[in-house]
Each structure stands twice: as structure tokens, then as C-alpha cells.
Amino acid sequence: MTNSRRTYNEAETVALLSQVGNRCPLCDGGLFYKKKQRHYKSYELAHIYPLNPRRDEVTELANSPRLSSDVNDPDNIVPLCLNCHGQFDKPRTAGEYLRLYQVKIEALRDERQRALASQYPLEEQISSVVAHLHSAALEHDTDVVLALNPKAADDKLDATMPPPTKRKVRNAVEDYFRHIQTAFLELERADPGCAEQIFVQVKSFYVMQKRQGLTQAQVFANLVDWIRIRAKAQSLESAEAVASFFIQNCEVFE
């Protein structure tokens, strides 16, 4: 039986393009070109597992995982530039198939992560904590205790966290832990219970990440991105410093 090629509506096409950031995932080339003040498409929607595989393709991909039993499912579709699409199809190899399969797996995971993150609130006052990092010298005050005694970050990071990221977390804790703690103390005085609420929200977000079976590196990256967006952080480093604080302060990574 021969499969018919499905037509994808505008919303589906936009979603597929968004998954790859409007760039060809194989060569990083643009999927549009501009001519005479107008933009034109320079891509095709490619089937990762072939629409109607030839006998040699069935044999080549016999042991390869599938993204969907329906070859026309958007999960089995990815935008490719014209050149990469042609090379991917002719001839189709198991190695190239697995590469594009993994690209799609990561795109779908990132899409799900963005959708999940949007469901988890974070008090807007977190922005004042991030902004605190850009202030002048800060004094640490021990009059108020907000959480358990901090546990050394090094003791909580496992082998799934790359050494450069471990170093980044450790340095952020050493440089900013007291500053961030001071910011939370000031926030707690101004709005009692707010800091504790933020701690609970971060813990809840972490547990959601943990339930997905993500690695520590993935959890850290997702936490940083969530804080960066919610706090409107001026820099990625600010969000990383706050995320590292929560690792040290026991909300993240038991």
C-alpha cells in the first residue's frame, strides 16, 4: 500500500519551523531567502522515516527507532533546506537517519519543556533578587534564616553534570551565594512569606524536571532558562548564579 503525502496547515508548518529555529538542522543554513524586499521559502518538509520506503531503505532502517507509526505525523517531519533534503533522501543511510531522528527528539523535548515551564509560576519578586546581583557591595545579614543549612554543591552534582558546568556552579556559589541570600532576606522583610514561596516554586519546578528523568545538566539548563525568562534577567550569568544558589540551598538536587 502506498502512503499519500499529507498537506500541513499553516499552524503546523509554523510549529515545525519553530522547532528548528527557522534554520536547517543539518547545515544551519537559512530556510528563507530575501529578494526584492520579499521573503521566499527555501526549504521542504522532509519525512525522517521515508513516506514510502524502498526495499533497500526498509532493510537499511530495519533496526532504527521510529518517531511515529504514522509517517505523516508531524513528529516524523522536519524542515530541511533543499540541498540537505536531497542529500538526506539519496541515498538514505541509517547513520544520517539516526542523526536527524536525534535532532527531532531534542526539538520535541525542548518544545515540551517550554510548554511545561510556562505552567509553573514564579513570583515576580524574583526579578529584584536577580537585579540585586548588579548592585554595589552587599552586606550579609544572619538575623533571618530562610531554609536548611546549605549543602556543598560539589556533593550534590553527579557524573551527568559536565565538569565545565560543575565549575560554573561552584564559582557562582562562591561569588554570589551571600549576595543572593541577602537579597532574599531583604525581600522577606519587605514581603513576609514571599521568599519562602519562591523556594517552594523552585522546588516544585525541580521535582517536575526530575520526574521526566532528565540529567542534572538538562535540569540545570532548564532551571536557568526558566529563571532568566521569569525574572527578566539582564544576563544569562545572573540566572545561572540564582540557579546555583538554589542548588547550594537545597531546593535543587537533593
Sorted by sequence, the CB contacts under 8 Å of residue 187 that are 6+ apart come out as 125, 128, 129, 194, 195
pLDDT, residue 202, reads: 94
Domain boundaries, the chain: 10-117, 126-248
What type of residue is 247?
I
CA atoms within 13 A on the CB side of 140: 9
Burial class (CB in 10 A: 0-12, 13-18, 19+), 164: exposed
pLDDT, residue 249, reads: 87
Cis before 91 (ω within 30): yes
Q: What's the grid cell of residue 202?
A: 523552585
pLDDT, residue 152, reads: 66
Kindly list the averaged pLDDT for each block of 10 residues, start to end, along the chain of length 254.
91 95 95 92 96 94 95 97 94 94 94 87 88 61 44 79 92 89 90 93 93 92 93 90 91 85
How far is the C-alpha of 241 from the C-alpha of 239, rounded, in Å? 5
**Residue ranges of E strands in 36-112:** 38-41, 43-47, 77-81
Q: For cell 523552585, what's the residue?
A: 202
**Helix (H) or strand (E) run with residue 137 in it:** none
